């Protein structure tokens, strides 16, 4: 049995929300988000503590990130960086 790699934050899975009829994306782990952003895992925890990082959800004892929220946060931070030049 082969292991599938996890989808990239921009890829959609074939999961449907039966109540809404819309596609749902796989929630990302702290490690996946850190890898995607190219930052250490501890940086994500620091950003969360300061309230400056992407929104994370607690699922049991784990933090998970919604890819759509991550993309929105990233787009907002890119705009701030461009505007501060």
Binned at pLDDT 50, 70 and 90, residue 5 comes out as very low
- Radius of gyration of the chain, Cα coordinates, nearest whole angstrom: 14
The answer to whether the beta carbons of residues 78 and 36 sit under 8 Å apart is no
How many Å apart are CA 41 and CA 47, to the nearest integer? 10
CATH of 28-83, one of 2.60.40, 1.10.10, 1.10.3860, 1.10.3110: 1.10.10
Residues 5-38: b if buried by 16+ CB within 10 A, e if exposed: eeeebeeeeeeeeeeeeeeebbbbbbebbbebbe
Residue 82: its pLDDT value, please? 67
| Per-residue pLDDT reduced to its tens digit, 27-54 | 999 999 999 999 999 999 999 999 999 9
């Amino acid at each position: 049995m082969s292991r599938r790699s996890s989808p990239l934050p921009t890829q959609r899975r074939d999961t449907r929300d039966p109540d809404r009829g819309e596609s749902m994306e796989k929630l990302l782990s702290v490690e996946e988000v850190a890898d995607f952003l190219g930052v250490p895992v501890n940086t994500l925890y620091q950003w969360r503590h300061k309230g400056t990082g992407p929104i994370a959800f607690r699922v049991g004892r784990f933090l998970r990130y919604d890819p759509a929220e991550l993309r929105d946060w990233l787009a907002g931070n890119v705009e701030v960086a461009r505007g501060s030049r």
